[in-house]
Chain A
């Protein structure tokens, strides 16, 4: 089964790396969209069907936590699984992100296998 993925990161280079890493990890991607911040991601969600969001935390305009708060407000998008891919590792911030509904967390730098394992586990849980 192929999943439509939205990658949210202010670094265009990192977005391409994540996209490539997800592809080579064996995780099947259908359509893939990219957004440079939370605001752009929310705009994409209004017009595209997304199965999974991979998002950074530290971004200009609208950061990852602000995006999660907005997602939680809307009935239509609140159930889309969100996985954070970020450099941040502070317990308090991760607790806040989990409270806002994230399904998983990958710390940069990452190995492709880590991405594959986390994505596969979460999409299987979501399907169940």
Chain B
């Protein structure tokens, strides 16, 4: 199940980033670290979370460096580079979570009604994006404009 979701997640990430944010992505495959070199440094990232409930339940978490989030928000809104505000960057990450989660699960199973929560985003200092672990988690790392971005899905075990 997780392999199928991961494949679909990679396709959805590319579709969302390229269609609405004009930002091509390169997905890290296997253990290769090539994706991250050269890599731009960042001081903090925005961590967006959205819950989903349907055939599977859990939380989708997206971590985006603040600098990249502002550039993407500018692209998204058609503004000059660096002119997006902090709140616009947060709003953009919320919308990214919404688009990735909604598309991912509806493409996986159109027959199921997927209920999504309202996304929430907060700023986290440092560069350490928690990769998650265990059988009930999936993590995809990719490079967008030289910055690392991470999508993580944590599944809630069935009761």
Contacts and interface: CB of A to CB of B under 8 A. Distances in A.
Interface of A: 10-14, 16-17, 20, 58-60, 86-93, 107-111
B36 interface: no
B15 to A, nearest CB: 6
Contact of B110 (A17, A20, A59, A90): A90
Contacts of A16: 77
Given A12-B91, A58-B118, A110-B19, A87 B99 contact: yes
B102 interface: yes
A89 B118 contact: no
Interface of B: 15-16, 19-20, 54, 73, 76-78, 88, 91-92, 94-95, 98-99, 101-103, 106-107, 110-114, 116, 118
Contact of B114 (A10, A59, A90, A107): A90
Contacts of B73: 13
A90 B111 contact: yes
Given A13-B91, A90-B112, 16 more contacts: A12-B88, A20-B77, A58-B98, A58-B116, A60-B118, A87-B99, A87-B101, A87-B103, A87-B106, A89-B106, A90-B110, A90-B113, A108-B20, A109-B19, A110-B20, A111-B19
A89 B110 contact: yes
Contacts of A20: 77-78
A88 B102 contact: yes
A95 B98 CA distance: 21
A58 B106 CA distance: 14
Given A13-B91, A20-B78, A86 B102 contact: yes
B36 to A, nearest CB: 26
A89 B103 contact: yes
A51 B14 CA distance: 35
A94 B114 CA distance: 12
Nearest to A21: B78
B102 A89 contact: yes
Contact of A92 (B15, B77, B91, B113): B113
